[in-house]
Amino acid sequence: MGASFETHHMLFLLWFFAATFSLNFFKVESNSNVSCIEKDKQALLSFKQGLVDSGNVLSSWSDHEDCCRWHGVRCDSNTSQVTELHLSCPMDGDGDFNYKKTLGGVISHSLLELEHLNYLDLSWNEFNCTGIPSFLGSMGSMRHLDLHDSGFCGVIPYQLGNLSSLHYLNLGHNFLHADNLHWMSSLSAIQYLDLSSADLHREVDWLQIMSKFPSLSELDLNGCQLDSLNPSLGFVNFTSLRVLFLSGNHFNHEIPNWFSNLSTSLLGLGLAENSLIGGIPSSILHFQKLEYLDLGENSLRGKIPDSLGQLKHLKSLSLGGNPLSGPIPSSIGNLSELQFLFLDSSKLNGTVPKSLGLLSNLFSLSIAMNTFTGSLDEAHFTKLSKLKYLEISYTPLFFNVNSNWVPPFQLEYVSTSSCNIGPNFPTWLHTQTSLQFLLLPLSGISDKAPSWFWDWISNISTVDLSNNHIEGDVPDILLNSTILNLRSNHFKGRLPRLSANVEVLDMANNSIFGSLSTFLCQKMNKKNKLKVLDVSNNFLCGELSNCWRYWQSLMHLNLGSNNLSGRIPYSLGSLVELESLSLQNNSIYGDIPSSLKRCSKLGLINIGDNHFLRTIPLWITKMTKLIVLRLRSSGFKGNIPLNICQISSLRILDLANNSLSGPIPSCLKNMSAMVMPDYQGIYFDSLEYMFDYGSYLENLMLVPKGHELQYEDNLKYVRIIDLSSNNLSGSIPVEISVLSELRFLNLSRNYLMGSIPENIGILQKLESIDLSWNLLSGEIPPSMSNLTFLNYLDLSYNNFSSRIPSSTQLQSFDVVRYIGNPQLCGDPLPKCCTPRIGKSCNRTSIGKTKEDSASSSFYMGMGVGFAIGFWGVCGGLFFKRTWRHAYFKFVNDTKNWFYVTTILKVKWLLEKR
Ligand SMILES: *[C@@H]1O[C@H](CO)[C@@H](O)[C@H](O)[C@H]1NC(C)=O
Ligand SMILES: *[C@@H]1O[C@H](CO)[C@@H](O)[C@H](O)[C@H]1NC(C)=O
Ligand SMILES: *[C@@H]1O[C@H](CO)[C@@H](O)[C@H](O)[C@H]1NC(C)=O
Ligand SMILES: *[C@@H]1O[C@H](CO)[C@@H](O)[C@H](O)[C@H]1NC(C)=O
Ligand SMILES: *[C@@H]1O[C@H](CO)[C@@H](O)[C@H](O)[C@H]1NC(C)=O
Ligand SMILES: *[C@@H]1O[C@H](CO)[C@@H](O)[C@H](O)[C@H]1NC(C)=O
Ligand SMILES: *[C@@H]1O[C@H](CO)[C@@H](O)[C@H](O)[C@H]1NC(C)=O
């Protein structure tokens, strides 16, 4: 889980830079009054011919124009020879890469004609996994070669070693590999080398090779699968190095001693995510000029050395994600240039030093997920006037400030999940007028919402105040936040009006009353964007209304556990984007309209606990995306439709407690989601809606092991068939043993006859079987003793006979799980079996049930914990390729290296997917 906080700050940086900077660094001026050489022009035209230029970037490259004035071309002002090609993907006005304008295709040999070309930049294009052309190694004048992030694949051509004038080589973020790098040793002029993400694990001599370049000043080997920093070497001659990025490899050893030979003018050092062990070495202190230090996400232990305060030039310090203990040294207050401080997800304890309040340049502070004690008070923030990002969640700190405190900062992001920021409503928040992300779930606020509350939050785009005890009337107000999560508080009143900005409204578990239709039928001037509406567990009443056509963007709708009545309106079928529909636990009756067929994206239907008194509609079996079907306790009758097995994505089938009759369909084996193990890339879009810094998760009550459990983030791991408490007859189909991924099976309280299928033991993932109160007979199949994960079993009240097979599992269940079977014998039942082959029944000592064993607790939907999993946090943002690229671009072009490792991690995590 540590990773999620790590991602928090990476995301934050992305967000910050994409939002704050206009990233237009890339205007290439053409020379105004040189005119180009015909031979060069022809070479360029034939280079253009090989390229795929669907965005018409090269439209200026035409025969009747001076080629020195073409886009991206630069000529020598004296000789008019073409010397530079700047063909990186252009940006649009927002500073995003304009992906319609990437180049691709073939890099033509005609480039060789440009004998004086010394600068070639093809970065951020899309060469579609072709190889880097080896002839580039023949371009003897080349000084600057940039092929960063352009989709190249394959081996790094050794011919590049011939480029003896090369100063700058950037092959980072492609899909490259190299078996050895010895050919590189002739790159004697190299100053900047970026091979990040290339697989170099076969080159064990990388360190020797890199340390022989006399002028090497920046080296980036992030994510290169390197295995060792050769801790045994006494000396590595990296004396001119100013920047060293080696994050995301797997060194698994201590930071070697040779680091102390690195130049004292080192500016940046990135060693994050390397499984480094040991402590933070004191040699770090030797780099007095260090501005960027990233040792995050390793296994470094011990204390943060107090002497860290000597690194006075540090601008970014990242030590988070290490099992470091002890306090934050108070010398931290000496780091007056510090802008980014990430100490999250460690085991730091003690009180937070007040000297933190001296960091007058601090922009971003994250001390989340530690075990600090005490409180944060005004002194901790005295000079933090530049603070924009404050992350202190999952740290048991009290926020102890005066009610009239006016903080020196204007935050844009604050997250205090699980801190004690209450019990009073934090009034200082009202002074914060730039907030975009207000994340205060589970923060112990137990107070009335102040009078300014609703006006104030309407300017904040993401608000999460869930799981507090905030009281307040929902006035007749226009809600305006994009994401608004007020779940599990004490808000009361009628549903408010929504502005066209609102995408997520979660007011579940409050005391909202009144009619739903007034809300749904509100007039809105603009087309609304509402995607998630969860008002479950309130006191809404009336019918479901007919105004659904106004809400066509809805993807997740939960109206469960209210007092809604009437029929499901036909117009609900106009919600064609709907992925989940939850109407459970109301008083809805009548037909389930066939118009819902049109909602073909539905992955979750939960309409249980109503009064339908109908047969299960056949069209449901055509819903091919359905993952969850819960029709529990709603008076359904008739047979289970045979075609139900056509729903191949079904993982949760809960038809319990109805009046269904007839047999269990034997086609079960067609339900492939219960048969196939999860493969990578499986999507559960219908179970979650992700946004920046969070997600909305579907939740569901299930009865996996005899009692109700609420499933939320772990819903996607559940596979259950619950047909209990119906009037089903016939036998248990033998096909059931094909459902090898099934975890919970409940067929209890029916009229099933016959025996348990012989090979049920194949269902290795089964954690629970309930077959109680049926008419089943015969032996308990010996294969059941193979069900090693089984921790709930109920076979009581059937006609089973003979001996209970012996296994650690089967004997561990309580006697009551077997009673009511007069002919059953053997341990754990008191009844001895007739001795066979000399063995009578001796009670073993295992007598204890293991129903809540650790093996299953992972799957149980309880506790609050992290509602947001790793990818949940990442939200849509992580996948916004444009932002990611914009950021890389920023970093690259401004030579603002010092955020590089942090961000490279993002990309690299993406590639690990
Ligand atoms: C370029 O053109 C400008 C006027 O447009 C002129 O002043 C300048 O001398 C020219 N330079 C060369 C190198 O021809
Ligand atoms: C990339 O390759 C795929 C298949 O090889 C092809 O369909 C696609 O059009 C190519 N894209 C570009 C931009 O060349
Ligand atoms: C380290 O490298 C520099 C530059 O290449 C060279 O001048 C110096 O002699 C080397 N030192 C050692 C001890 O090898
Ligand atoms: C911090 O944790 C360490 C190691 O768990 C422990 O020895 C030390 O007493 C703790 N310090 C405080 C102030 O709680
Ligand atoms: C509503 O939100 C938008 C941005 O999403 C903001 O510009 C506007 O000021 C807000 N309106 C009110 C009344 O707060
Ligand atoms: C239990 O499983 C093993 C291997 O999976 C198999 O060889 C054995 O026959 C099974 N036992 C029973 C009783 O089915
Ligand atoms: C049953 O247990 C008793 C004493 O606990 C022992 O004497 C006897 O041999 C056992 N019988 C079998 C068949 O294991």
Alpha-carbon distances, residue 143 vs 29, 112, 151, 160, 162 (angstroms): 20, 15, 22, 12, 12
78 lines ligand 1 (CB under 6 A): no
pLDDT, one tens digit per residue, over 822-875 is: 999 888 888 887 655 444 454 443 333 333 333 333 323 222 222 222 222 222
**Residues 138, 195: one domain?**
yes
What was the pLDDT predicted at 855? 31
239 neighbors 215 (Cβ within 8 angstroms): no
DSSP assignments along 248-297, one per residue: TS---SBPPGGGGGS-TT--EEE--SS--BS---GGGGG-TT--EEE--S
Pairwise pLDDT comparison (903 vs 471), residue with the higher score = 471
Residues 160 and 179 in one domain: yes
Strand ranges of the sheet holding 777-779, from the earlier edge strand across to the other edge: 777-779, 799-803, 823-825
Rounded Cα gap, residues 744 and 722, in angstroms: 8
- Considering the domain boundaries, does residue 202 fall inside one? yes
List the residue whose alpha carbon is closest to atom 11 of ligand 3.
237
Residue pLDDT, tens place only, 563-611: 999 999 999 999 999 999 999 999 999 999 999 999 999 999 999 999 9
Angle between helices 2-20 and 881-893 (to 10 degrees): 70
Residue 847, in any domain of the structure: no
Phi, psi angle pair for 753, to nearest 5°:
-125, 180
- Among protein residues, the one with the nearest Cα to ligand 4's atom 9 is 326
| Nearest Cα residue to atom 8 of ligand 1 | 33
Q: What's residue 384's pLDDT?
A: 96
Long-range pairs for 697-702: beta carbons < 8 A, 24 or more residues apart:
697/867, 697/872, 698/556, 698/558, 698/580, 698/582, 698/604, 698/628, 699/861, 700/604, 700/606, 700/628, 700/630, 700/652, 700/861, 702/630, 702/652, 702/654, 702/744, 702/861
The answer to whether residues 148 and 66 belong to one domain is no
- pLDDT band of residue 809 (cuts 50, 70, 90) is confident
Report angle CA 660, 665, 667 to the nearest 5 degrees: 155
Taking the CA of residue 455 as reference, the ligand 5 atom at the shortest distance is: 14
Domain boundary among 86, 116, 146: 116
Q: How far apart are CA 835 and CA 854, in angstroms?
A: 36
Residue pair 400/377 in contact by the 8 Å Cβ criterion = yes
Over the stretch 119-164, which tens digit does the pLDDT of each residue have?
999 998 999 899 999 999 999 999 999 998 899 999 999 999 999 9
CA of 128 to the centre of ligand 2 (A): 6
Residue with tokens 């402590």: 279
Q: Does residue 258 lie in a domain region? A: no
Give dist(CA 612, CA 614) in Å, integer. 5
Place of tokens 């089903």: 728
Query: Angle CA(528)–CA(534)–CA(539) in degrees, nearest 5?
Result: 115
Q: Is residue 73 part of a domain?
A: yes
pLDDT value at residue 248: 87
Domain limit, last residue, from 56, 90, 116: 116
For residue 232, pLDDT over 60 is answered with yes
Q: How many CB atoms lie within 10 A of CB 31?
A: 17
Together in a domain, 131 and 209 = yes
215 lines ligand 3 (CB under 6 A): no
Q: Return the closest-CA partner of residue 727 out of 815, 635, 797, 804.
A: 635
* Residue 808 near residue 790 (C-beta atoms within 8 A): no
The percent of residues above 70 in pLDDT, for the chain, comes to: 86
Q: Which of 187, 221, 255 is the last residue of a domain?
A: 221
* Residue 824 maps to a domain: no
C-alpha of residue 105 to centroid of ligand 2, in Å: 8
Poorest-confidence range of 54-63, 260-269, 355-364, 617-626?
Answer: 260-269
Ligand 6: which atom is nearest the Cα of residue 805?
13
Q: Which of 487, 435, 432 is nearest to 461 (CA)?
A: 435
- Residue 903 has a pLDDT of 45
**SS3 (DSSP) at 514:** strand
Torsions phi, psi of 666, nearest 5? -90, 0
Pairing verdict, β 700-702 and 709-711: antiparallel
**pLDDT, tens digit, 9 for 90 and up, residues 320-338:** 889 999 999 999 999 999 9
In the beta sheet, which residues pair with residue 563? 541
**Does any domain span residue 553?**
no
Same domain, 138 and 216: yes
- The whole domain housing 169 covers 127-221
**Whether the predicted pLDDT of 220 surpasses 50:** yes
Ligand 4 centre to CA of 373 (Å) is 11
Residues within 6 Å of ligand 6 by CB: 761, 782-783, 786
* pTM recorded for the entire structure: 0.81
The predicted pLDDT at position 527 comes to 81
Residue 414 in any domain: the answer is: no
What's at 128, amino acid-wise? N
Pocket test for ligand 2, best of 102, 103, 124, 128 (most atoms within 8 A of CB): 128
How confident is the model at residue 837, as a pLDDT? 44
**Cα(first)–Cα(last) distance of the chain, in Å?**
16
Nearest residue by C-alpha to atom 3 in ligand 2: 128
The ligand whose atoms approach the alpha carbon of 80 most closely is 1
Pairwise CA distance, residues 505 & 744, whole Å = 33
The pLDDT of 514-527, averaged and rounded, is 84
Is residue 833 assigned to a domain? no
> For position 34, which CATH number holds?
3.80.10.10
Asked if 153 and 215 sit in the same domain, the reply is yes
Number of domains in the chain: 2
The band of 236, judged by pLDDT with boundaries at 50, 70 and 90, is confident
Query: What are the b/e assignments for 690-702, b being 16+ CB within 10 Å?
Result: bbbbbbbbbbbbb
Q: Is the CB of 33 within 6 Å of ligand 1?
A: yes
Residue 909: what pLDDT?
33
Mean of the pLDDT values across residues 277-289? 88
Contact 733, 756 (CB under 8 A): no
